[in-house]
Amino acid sequence: SQQGEEDPQALSIQEGENATMNCSYKTSINNLQWYRQNSGRGLVHLILIRSNEREKHSGRLRVTLDTSKKSSSLLITASRAADTASYFCATGLIQGAQKLVFGQGTRLTINP
Amino acid sequence: KAGVTQTPRYLIKTRGQQVTLSCSPISGHRSVSWYQQTPGQGLQFLFEYFSETQRNKGNFPGRFSGRQFSNSRSEMNVSTLELGDSALYLCASSLDRGWDEQYFGPGTRLTVT
């Protein structure tokens, strides 16, 4: 598996429901970030959680990080049609090059 | 603050040609990273520049190169274009480290025919 794998690859839910996306990684990290991308556009930063943090909130977003399992989850509550997008997790590596490695993304569709 | 800008937004080139893409980071950001995004390979890291020096490099052939100027603006160049270079090229800037929160530009859509 790659560093930063999202699960599921695609998710379709009804407006108002909660959406949960998961990310797993392989090596030690400084931080883990979540980004959103609307079709064919640049990515937008959503939230950053550091390796010594376990949970973080931002509006309708809740991110958890479990460094022992090398996994993170992004929860979007009370979803809206405007949340339809691809969501990427990115891990900030501390070994070797200090860069972000992006996963393949989860395609989220919110049905009205 | 103005966001990250990329020019041009769309580009059509033929095989064998070369192309230069430009990126202007957010004022005060010293790190600029470039990514290639394709449906098959996803988002792949090309390189990162900091203070006019290439600090990190991804696994791309030498046809892909870049540079950063003293005002932090960055350019990337692709020589001898191949069909497989068709992609969305994204530039992102961050304050300092390559793992900081990154601010992305809208991207340059390159089509090679």
pLDDT at A1: 42
Facing A33 at nearest CB: one of B101, B107, B109: B101
Q: Using the predicted structure, report yes or no on whether residue A94 has a pLDDT greater than 80.
A: no
What is the tens place of the pLDDT at every residue in B95-104?
A: 988 788 999 9
C-alpha–C-alpha distance, residues B70 and B30, integer Å:
10
Q: Does B24 touch chain A (CB under 8 A)?
A: no
Please tell me which of A6-10, A24-28, A44-48 the model is most confident about, judged by mean pLDDT: A44-48
From chain A, pick out residues whose CB is under 8 angstroms from the CB of B92: 42-43
pLDDT band at A98 (very low <50, low <70, confident <90, very high): confident
pLDDT band at A2 (very low <50, low <70, confident <90, very high): low
CB B10 within 8 A of CB B106: no
Q: Measured between alpha carbons, how far is residue A101 from residues A97, B1, B92 in Å?
A: 10, 26, 13
Q: What percent of chain B has pLDDT over 90?
A: 89
* b/e sequence B44-68, b meaning 16+ C-beta within 10 Å: bbbbbbbeeeebbebebeeebbbeb
Burial of B4 (0-12, 13-18, 19+ CB in 10 A): buried
Q: What percent of chain A has pLDDT over 70?
A: 95
C-alpha–C-alpha distance, residues A79 and B21, integer Å:
37
C-alpha–C-alpha distance, residues A93 and A27, integer Å:
7
C-alpha–C-alpha distance, residues B93 and B52, integer Å:
13
Cis peptide before A112 (omega within 30 of 0): no
* Average of per-residue pLDDT across A6-25: 96
What is the tens place of the pLDDT at every residue in B43-69?
A: 999 999 999 999 999 999 999 999 999
How far from each other are the two terminal CA atoms of chain A, in whole angstroms?
34
pLDDT band at B2 (very low <50, low <70, confident <90, very high): confident
Q: Does A105 touch chain B (CB under 8 A)?
A: yes
Helical ranges in chain A per DSSP H: none
C-alpha–C-alpha distance, residues B19 and B80, integer Å:
9
The CA radius of gyration of chain A, in Å to the nearest whole number, is 13
What is the tens place of the pLDDT at every residue in B67-97?
A: 999 999 999 999 999 999 999 999 999 998 8
C-alpha–C-alpha distance, residues B60 and B84, integer Å:
12
Distance from the A50 Cα atom to the nearest Cα atom in chain B, whole angstroms = 11
What is the tens place of the pLDDT at every residue in A49-85?
A: 999 999 999 999 999 999 999 999 999 999 999 999 9
Q: Phi and psi (nearest 5°) for A100?
A: -95, 140
H or E segment and range at residue A81: none
Tokens of A14: 């009804």
The secondary structure of residue B10, as a DSSP letter, is E
The secondary structure of residue B72, as a DSSP letter, is S
* Average of per-residue pLDDT across B10-35: 97
Helices and strands counted in chain B (H then E): 0, 11
Distance from the A13 Cα atom to the nearest Cα atom in chain B, whole angstroms = 23
**CB A27: neighbour CB atoms within 10 A?**
13
